[in-house]
């Protein structure tokens, strides 16, 4: 997969999502048209939502690739989070729809009609969706693209729900217990709700300028320490993500009589170190004289 990351650009992946969504929609509609099954009809309708979502992802990727401009000097990367929140909301709505459908079926058990051909076409669409979902999640993570990962997770929940419906029908057929089908659907809905919630939470975290996680923070502190020879300490370290970009800013305390030239040289070394260690790091350093130093750390480490 490593080589593939270089072959596909995020833009191509986003366009690929639209193509897959159109194919899946066609297959699912065909499945409905051949069988007239209401269940397959609602499944096909859901694919229209997927198509809309994949278009939103393409717009988000196109937006984030626009260079920083006068109006958005920090770039447009957060567009990805907005599309990821949208995906999360769509996933939650799908879970609610399954919930309502399943509880209705639990309260008023109905005989199953089994359109074998429709189920087969539907399964084919599921395989297509599942394969593409895995490509999106894997490459999206590698490219640190929240929008592509979210789209992959969205597709994956669709596959799980289709699979759940299929398994439910088979189990109900074999056992003759019609309530097993909606019960399984309820379980699927809970699983999907969980995925949607996780996606919304993560994307809102990005929109709210959540700090990098503990592990990455320690890494950043270590890189600063390793490249700050000549400085006294670093404090007020603040971090945040905007999609693939990591913003890092802090105060660097240097000896009061150090020249601006030397202090700037230390800054350049730290910046080079951070940019080499962390992909797409944007670093801002504020220089301060000795009397601005904080209480030193007990372990004597550079970053306070």
- 128-137's contacts with Cβ under 8 Å and 24+ in sequence apart are 128/20, 128/23, 128/24, 128/27, 129/20, 129/24, 129/50, 129/155, 129/156, 129/158, 129/159, 129/162, 130/155, 130/156, 130/159, 132/16, 132/17, 132/20, 133/159, 135/4, 135/13, 135/16, 136/13, 136/17
Contact 274, 248 (CB under 8 A): yes
Query: Minimal distance in Å, beta carbon 226 to Zn ion?
Result: 19
Query: Minimal distance in Å, beta carbon 288 to Zn ion?
Result: 5
Q: Give the Cβ contact number of residue 195 at 10 Å.
A: 20
Nearer to Zn ion, 269 or 292 (CB): 292
Residue number with the smallest Cβ distance to Zn ion: 251
Q: Is 139 in a helix, a strand, or coil?
A: helix
Nearer to Zn ion, 58 or 266 (CB): 266
Residues 6+ apart with CB under 8 A from 284: 247, 248, 249
Nearer to Zn ion, 189 or 252 (CB): 252
User: Within 13 A of 88's CA, how many CA atoms are on the CB side?
Assistant: 20
Nearer to Zn ion, 244 or 292 (CB): 292
Nearer to Zn ion, 227 or 251 (CB): 251
Give the whole-angstrom CA distance, residue 35 versus residue 122.
11
Query: Minimal distance in Å, beta carbon 270 to Zn ion?
Result: 11
Nearer to Zn ion, 93 or 293 (CB): 293
Please report the sign of the dihedral spanned by the C-alpha atoms of residue 22, residue 28, residue 32, residue 38.
negative
Query: Minimal distance in Å, beta carbon 236 to Zn ion?
Result: 5
Query: Minimal distance in Å, beta carbon 234 to Zn ion?
Result: 9
Query: Minimal distance in Å, beta carbon 295 to Zn ion?
Result: 13
Closest C-alpha to 44, from 53, 33, 54, 59: 33
Contact residues toward Zn ion (CB under 5 A) are 251, 288, 292
Eight-class DSSP state of 303: B
Nearer to Zn ion, 183 or 237 (CB): 237
Query: Minimal distance in Å, beta carbon 211 to Zn ion?
Result: 18
């Amino acid at each position: 997969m490593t080589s593939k990351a270089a072959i596909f650009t995020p833009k191509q992946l986003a366009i690929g999502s639209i193509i897959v969504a159109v194919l899946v929609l066609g297959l699912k509609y065909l499945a409905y048209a051949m069988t007239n099954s209401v269940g397959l009809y609602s499944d096909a309708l859901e694919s229209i939502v997927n198509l809309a979502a994949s278009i939103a992802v393409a717009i988000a990727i196109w937006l984030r690739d626009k260079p920083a401009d006068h109006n958005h000097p920090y770039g447009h990367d957060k567009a990805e989070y907005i599309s990821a929140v949208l995906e999360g909301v769509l996933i939650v709505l799908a879970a609610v729809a399954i919930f309502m459908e399943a509880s209705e079926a639990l309260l008023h058990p109905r005989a199953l009609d089994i359109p074998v051909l429709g189920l087969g076409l539907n399964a084919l669409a599921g395989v297509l969706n599942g394969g593409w979902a895995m490509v999106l999640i894997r490459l999206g993570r590698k490219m640190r693209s929240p929008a592509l990962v979210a789209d992959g997770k969205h597709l994956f929940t669709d596959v799980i729900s289709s699979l759940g419906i299929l398994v439910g029908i088979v189990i109900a057929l074999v056992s003759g217990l019609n309530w097993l089908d909606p019960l399984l659907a309820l379980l699927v809905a809970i699983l999907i709700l969980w995925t949607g919630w996780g996606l919304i939470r993560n994307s809102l975290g990005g929109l709210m300028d959540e700090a990098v996680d503990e592990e990455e923070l320690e890494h950043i502190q270590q890189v600063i320490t390793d490249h700050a020879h000549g400085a006294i300490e670093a404090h007020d370290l603040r971090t945040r993500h905007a999609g693939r970009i990591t913003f890092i800013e802090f105060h660097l305390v240097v000896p009061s009589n150090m020249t601006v030239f030397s202090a700037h040289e230390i800054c350049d070394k730290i910046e080079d170190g951070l940019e080499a260690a962390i992909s797409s790091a944007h670093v801002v350093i504020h220089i301060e004289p000795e009397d601005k130093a904080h209480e030193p750390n007990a372990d004597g480490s550079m970053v306070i």
